Amino acid sequence: MSGLDIEIIRHALETARSNGFVQVKLNHGDDSFRAILDPNLSVNEEADSEEDDAFGSFAAAEVSDTFEVKSPCVGYFQAGKTEAVVGAKVEEGEVIGVIQALGIGNDVSCKSTGTIEEIFVKPGQAVEFGQPIARLKR
């Protein structure tokens, strides 16, 4: 990718994240770069031919209106300082709980703003790494 400078790509990714974009596409001559920034994207198998020409067989992505907050580690779930309840609006970065592992508290924080639709675990319940803790709607 001689036409796409790494600093330009880095700047595009930072700008996209800070403005809430879920994907980045860059073209420069014959070079192209594409990144998906939201792990909660679903893949649409019916990508248009222009997308296929520019990015190979990579399918177009669609944003889901719900996402899950997952456990950052193995341990026991405890409620956060502010009790997370169904229907509560939470902001990006807000802590909705803590996973206690070997006496150390690990925050469970939201990666996006949303409203809690469902809570999957109860205080004191053992959880695995990556286990869904709650489902939120954007």
CATH number corresponding to 66-137: 2.40.50.100
Name the token pair of 77: 């779930």
pLDDT tens digits for 58-101? Answer: 444 444 688 899 999 999 999 877 677 888 899 998 999 999 99
- Report domain extents, the chain: 6-63, 66-137
pTM for this one? 0.53
pLDDT tens digits for 105-131? Answer: 999 988 889 999 999 999 999 999 999
Single out the residue of 66, 94, 84 nearest to residue 121, CA to CA. 84
CA distance 116 to 52: 36
Compute and round to an integer the Cα radius of gyration of the chain.
Answer: 19
CA distance 113 to 137: 8
Return all residues near 84 (Cβ < 8 A) that are at least 6 apart: 90, 96, 97, 116, 119, 134
